[in-house]
Structure 1
Amino acid sequence: MFKSSTVPAPVGPLPTLSREGPLDALRFLAALFIVLYHVAERAPVSLFSLSPAFGRGYLATDFFLMLSGYVLARTYGPRVLNSEVDTLTFLKRRVQRIWPSHLVMLALFVAFFVLTSVIGLAPQNPQWFQWDQLLPQIFLVQAWFVPGASGWNVPTWTLSALIVAYALFPMVWRRVAATNRPLQLLAMGVCAWVAIDFAAFDVLGVHGYQLPLRFGLIRGVPLFMIGLLVARLPVTALARRQALPLAVAALAIVVGIQALGNFDHFSLALLAFLIYAAGASKPRAWRWAGAAGQLSFSLFLTNSLTTVVWFGLVRAVEAKIGLPIVATWVLWALAIPATIVAAWVFERMVDAPLQRWIKGRQAKAVAINATPARA
């Protein structure tokens, strides 16, 4: 399926990246699995004890990190090569995309903690609300080897790691785009990630995905780069024709082998292939997938606080009136649609308006700069 030329040549024009298609659907499914992973232990019977597969939600995080590298390379790669976007402009755009909504969500976390403390409700996990960890969270540097246990909006460690990946992206992509051996380069990238995983296990006794979140750069940046390398692979005619069957097959195998045991390295290779196949798909018009994919960022940002509030209310109800086991399971299951609803509200009321405001200011600045000065 992949064929490398023997003549060095820069990356050629790639097919238009499919929007409202498989990649958007996969983004949402991965976000949903991360939510399930976060609430698995809160079930009346821990889902981790029912099947070890539920404990592999870190694979969905790996998928997100690789997908970020892939999508940005396919979207911004040509503009970087044509010098339409420099490193500072690219980094500024990415920070403007993630930081404003992150700050709003962090403010909601602080408000929640202060309010519950005032009324005498102690958090179930006080280690998540350490004031000395707030400043690193605000500036998204908590994954840059900052001492202490990461807290507050814990999943944002990935954004902290991605900021560094964003800063490296233009330089790395220019070099990667010039290669005539993209498949070999991808194999080297995967081997480097495996080496990092084994080194973490040898030195610290844990796999890469189990490293403390303050070491997030070690995990996040290499996975982003793997996604970037996948984007460099040529999209062949065969890949375009069979994109959906290949993507479905890769997804089915990834899900299926989790029931058989822990095959993290093989799963990573399959996830990379899944991204390649889904990205090779012809443009679709799956409006539901586009809407779901757009919701995935808000779901990522909001799910931790939503579940803290939800299960806090469930505990309060249980303490007052008690609940039969069936009702407990129902309330636990309802936490998942509750996170989706909360994410939808946040996307409509916060994230989308913020992005419109930022783009409006940028458009005004461009218009002012483009207006010739009066004599």
Structure 2
Amino acid sequence: MKKRLLAGVITALICGQASAQSWLLTDAETSVEKGNWQVNSQQLKLSGENFSIQQKVLHGGKQEGSKVLTITSKNGLTIALSPTRGMDLLHVNGHGVRLGWDSPVDEVVNPAYINLESRNGLGWLEGFNEMMVRCGFEWTGHPVTKDGVIYTLHGKAGNTPASKVEVIVDEKAPHEIRIRGLLKETTFKKAKLETWTELRYVPGSDSFTVHDVLTNHADYPHDYQIIYHSNFGTPILEKDARFIAPLKSVSPFNDYAKKGLNDWNVYGAPTKDFDEMVFNLTPKADENGKTVAAVINSKGDKGASIEFDIKQLPLLTMWKNTDTQKQGYVTGIEPGTNYAYPVTIEKEQGRVKQLQPGQSTEFTLTYSLLKDASAVQQVEQRVQKIQGDETVAISETPIATE
């Protein structure tokens, strides 16, 4: 009986391994680099929704050598990410709606051309144009110098090329696509953090999932922080567009944001000299710890939403940057373990987390393109259900001062 059970387990494992095809595009350990590469559902003889996956190596300017990996689903989404830039999402398009924004930075800048310590620790901004950039994992937040160490803006992950990249396609319907990348934040005597990032997408769907696993491979405990800086511009962001989420509390990031508290969740048209306003939010979740935040256009017929788990990402930042179009007209929905204050403040106020030697933690977020009024209404109803009768506590006092 035991032999039959063991044989069954082995058979199941073999079948599971054979149910997907995979391609190793990058591997620093074995010096593998595929460069330009592509595959599609016709080549794989897969039925159902047609799709293609393509990697391109870019040339010219500061994007020389950068790679862009794109999933294209005819009746779903086109998702572009960059293995060169922390596996971050560049832009997503579908049904005439774009998730992303127009940054003055118009190239996929190779991190080799970025000095994170320039402009007093603001060098990160010289490559900032992604729809979603991982801020972390060693630290995140505004730059600060302490004990001779410069903690640059939003950490290093977004400017770390992946050491390993693999593409996996399930052979069984609905043929889920997974793009995995390994990010290493390792420094002699300082850190040995590794993050396996994973993008999961089912062709034809209007949603996709980001699943990251962060591990401390050192022999000592190590702090970590993460903010998923998710950015949206036109056509969703416009005059009278709205931000929605079930919340426990709202507070301004600083004194400048205090001026915008009365209509903090409603956006204005592009406005010169608006600068930026940031609001610290405490999200409210359902009985399973899940919550959702969204930005919706003025007519309520298109938008973008993010579902996440407050046990993993307990805090939420809303970044309101309705400056001119050329300056960067954009809003950020930013689930995280902390707010965007410098790491020194976050540590003082108890929002910096720690991994023990060998310990891992994970983060899962599901992004949805809301293509019509029906999709928008479903998210609005979910927000209302989670919010219930609880009143949002609005404070006029920032929780910290830089």
Normalising by structure 2, we get a TM-score of 0.24
Q: Tell me which protein shows more helix as a share of its residues.
A: 1
Normalising by structure 1, we get a TM-score of 0.25
Q: Tell me which protein shows more strand as a share of its residues.
A: 2
Structure number with the bigger relative contact order (C-alpha 8 A, sep ≥ 6) is 1
